């Protein structure tokens, strides 16, 4: 039983540490990254996100830094009214996550 408890506590600590590593990028830094070419232009990232779901519209966007990598999060609603959460590598445009959002 002690081993199971220790395992659960360890897992919770690891998950908590992972969540704590992602931080929002402030607007001034966002502009700087975009104009310097360190990340792709937001219209290009938005195009990539919208291409994942036919006739989708953007609900919200956010740029975060996680472990030195910039992640562009896009929430979209598809033509059926379903919400999706899409995460892109802001430097390359690679789709990292594309899942239904409850």
**Domains located in the chain, CATH noted:** 23-100 (3.10.450.40)
Instruction: Note the pTM of the prediction, 2 decimals.
Output: 0.78
At residue 5, does pLDDT exceed 50? no
Please write the tens of the pLDDT for every residue from 27-72: 999 999 999 999 999 999 999 999 999 999 999 999 999 999 999 9
Task: Identify the pLDDT of residue 10.
Answer: 46
Please write the tens of the pLDDT for every residue from 9-28: 444 444 444 445 789 999 99
Which residue is associated with the tokens 């600590």? 13
Nearest to 23 by CA among 57, 70, 59, 56: 70
Sequence-ordered list of residues with C-beta below 8 angstroms from that of 39, at least 6 positions apart, any chain: 33, 45, 63, 70, 72, 90, 91
């Amino acid at each position: 039983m002690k081993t199971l408890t220790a395992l659960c506590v360890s897992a919770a600590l690891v998950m908590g540490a992972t969540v704590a590593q992602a931080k929002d990028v402030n607007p001034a830094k966002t502009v700087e990254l975009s104009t310097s070419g360190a990340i792709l232009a937001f219209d290009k990232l938005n195009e990539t996100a919208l291409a994942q779901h036919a006739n989708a519209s953007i609900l919200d966007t956010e740029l975060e830094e996680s472990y030195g990598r910039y992640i562009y999060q896009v929430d979209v609603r598809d033509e059926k009214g379903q919400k999706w959460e899409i995460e892109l590598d802001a430097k390359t445009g690679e789709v990292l996550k594309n899942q239904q959002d409850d």
